[in-house]
Structure 1
Amino acid sequence: MNDRIFEGKPLKQWMDEYPMLRSMVETDEVFWTNHKYEKFEDAIKKIGLTEDDVREAEERLERFAPYIAKVFPQTRETNGIIESPVVFIDNMKKELEKMYGQDMPGKLMLKCDSHLPISGSIKARGGIYEVLKHAEDLALEKNMLSKDDDYSVMDGEKFKEFYSGYSIAVGSTGNLGLSIGIMSAQLGFKVYVHMSSDAKQWKKDMLRSKGAVVVEYDSDYSKAVEEGRKQAESDPNMYFIDDENSKNLFLGYCVAAGRLKKQFDEMNIAVDSDNQLFVYLPCGVGGGPGGVAFGLKLIFKDNVHCFFAEPTHSPCMTMGLMTGLHEKVSVQDFGIDNITDADGLAVGRPSGFVGKTLENLISGSYTVSDEKMYAMLKKMIDSEKIELEPSALAGVIGPVKLLSEEAGKDYIKKKGLDGKMENAIHMAWATGGSMVPKEIMKEYYKKGLEILERQ
Structure 2
Amino acid sequence: MENKIVQEKTISQWKEQYPLMHKIISTEEVFWANSKYGKFSEAIKKVSLSEKDVQDAEERLKRFAPYIAKVFPDTQKTNGIIESPIVKILNMQRKLEKLFDQQILGQLLLKCDSHLAISGSIKARGGIYEVLKHAEDLAIENNLLTLEDDYSIIDSDKFREFFSKYSIAVGSTGNLGLSIGIMSAQLGFKVYVHMSADARQWKKDLLRSKGVTVIEYQSDYSKAVEEGRKQAEADPNMYFVDDENSTNLFLGYAVAAYRLKNQLKEINVVVDEQHPLFVYLPCGVGGGPGGVAFGLKLVFKDNVHCFFAEPTHSPCMLIGLMTNMHDKVCVQDFGIDNITAADGLAVGRASGFVGKTLEELISGSYTVKDEQLYTLLSILSDSEDIQLEPSALAGIYGPIQLFKDDAGQDYIENNNLKDKMKNASHIAWATGGSMVPKDVMETYYKKGQELSSK
Which TM-score applies when normalising by structure 2?
Answer: 1.00
Displacement after TM superposition at 1:163 (Å): 0.2
268-277 or 83-92: which moved more?
268-277
Report the Cα distance in structure 1 between the residues aligned to 2:88 and 2:227, rounded to whole angstroms.
Answer: 42
Structure-to-structure mapping, 1:216-255, within 5 angstroms: 216-255=216-255
3-state SS of 1:338 partner: coil
Report the Cα distance in structure 1 between the residues aligned to 2:105 and 2:27, rounded to whole angstroms.
Answer: 29
1:301 corresponding residue in structure 2: 301
Residue type of the alignment partner of 2:157: E
Report the Cα distance in structure 1 between the residues aligned to 2:337 and 2:207, rounded to whole angstroms.
Answer: 27
Residue type of the alignment partner of 2:254: C
Residue type of the alignment partner of 1:179: S
2:426 corresponding residue in structure 1: 426
- Gapped regions of structure 2 (runs ≥ 5): none
Displacement after TM superposition at 1:32 (Å): 0.1
Report the Cα distance in structure 1 between the residues aligned to 2:303 and 2:404, rounded to whole angstroms.
Answer: 21
Report the Cα distance in structure 1 between the residues aligned to 2:28 and 2:232, rounded to whole angstroms.
Answer: 39
Displacement after TM superposition at 1:268 (Å): 2.1
1:313 corresponding residue in structure 2: 313
Residue type of the alignment partner of 1:315: P
1:288 corresponding residue in structure 2: 288
Which TM-score applies when normalising by structure 1?
Answer: 0.99
2:279 corresponding residue in structure 1: 279
Report the Cα distance in structure 1 between the residues aligned to 2:101 and 2:9, rounded to whole angstroms.
Answer: 41
Report the Cα distance in structure 1 between the residues aligned to 2:146 and 2:47, rounded to whole angstroms.
Answer: 31
Report the Cα distance in structure 2 between the residues aligned to 1:143 and 1:5, rounded to whole angstroms.
Answer: 55
The number of equivalent residue pairs is 454
Report the Cα distance in structure 1 between the residues aligned to 2:16 and 2:37, rounded to whole angstroms.
Answer: 22
Displacement after TM superposition at 1:10 (Å): 1.1
Displacement after TM superposition at 1:192 (Å): 0.1
1:167 corresponding residue in structure 2: 167
3-state SS of 2:70 partner: helix
Report the Cα distance in structure 1 between the residues aligned to 2:163 and 2:442, rounded to whole angstroms.
Answer: 39
Percent identity between matched residues is: 71
Report the Cα distance in structure 1 between the residues aligned to 2:9 and 2:420, rounded to whole angstroms.
Answer: 43
Corresponding position: 1:16 with 2:38: no
2:353 corresponding residue in structure 1: 353
Report the Cα distance in structure 1 between the residues aligned to 2:42 and 2:339, rounded to whole angstroms.
Answer: 38
Residue type of the alignment partner of 2:222: S
Residue type of the alignment partner of 1:275: H
**Deviation by residue 1:332-359 (Cα, 9 ceiling, x = unmatched):** 0001000000000000000000000001
Report the Cα distance in structure 1 between the residues aligned to 2:375 and 2:98, rounded to whole angstroms.
Answer: 13
Displacement after TM superposition at 1:368 (Å): 0.1
Displacement after TM superposition at 1:269 (Å): 1.7
3-state SS of 1:397 partner: helix
Displacement after TM superposition at 1:265 (Å): 1.6
Report the Cα distance in structure 2 between the residues aligned to 1:271 and 1:119, rounded to whole angstroms.
Answer: 30
1:330 corresponding residue in structure 2: 330
Displacement after TM superposition at 1:6 (Å): 1.2
- Gapped regions of structure 1 (runs ≥ 5): none
3-state SS of 1:27 partner: coil
Report the Cα distance in structure 1 between the residues aligned to 2:405 and 2:25, rounded to whole angstroms.
Answer: 19
Corresponding position: 1:157 with 2:154: no
Structure-to-structure mapping, 1:368-447, within 5 angstroms: 368-447=368-447
3-state SS of 2:396 partner: coil
Report the Cα distance in structure 2 between the residues aligned to 1:200 and 1:325, rounded to whole angstroms.
Answer: 30
1:194 corresponding residue in structure 2: 194
3-state SS of 1:158 partner: helix
Report the Cα distance in structure 1 between the residues aligned to 2:13 and 2:416, rounded to whole angstroms.
Answer: 34
Q: CA RMSD in A?
A: 0.4
Displacement after TM superposition at 1:5 (Å): 1.1
3-state SS of 1:179 partner: helix
Displacement after TM superposition at 1:316 (Å): 0.2
2:106 corresponding residue in structure 1: 106
**Deviation by residue 1:310-346 (Cα, 9 ceiling, x = unmatched):** 0000000000000000000100000100000000000
**Deviation by residue 1:202-232 (Cα, 9 ceiling, x = unmatched):** 0000000011000000000000000000000
**Deviation by residue 1:1-40 (Cα, 9 ceiling, x = unmatched):** 1111111111111111011111111100000000000000
Report the Cα distance in structure 2 between the residues aligned to 1:107 and 1:34, rounded to whole angstroms.
Answer: 24
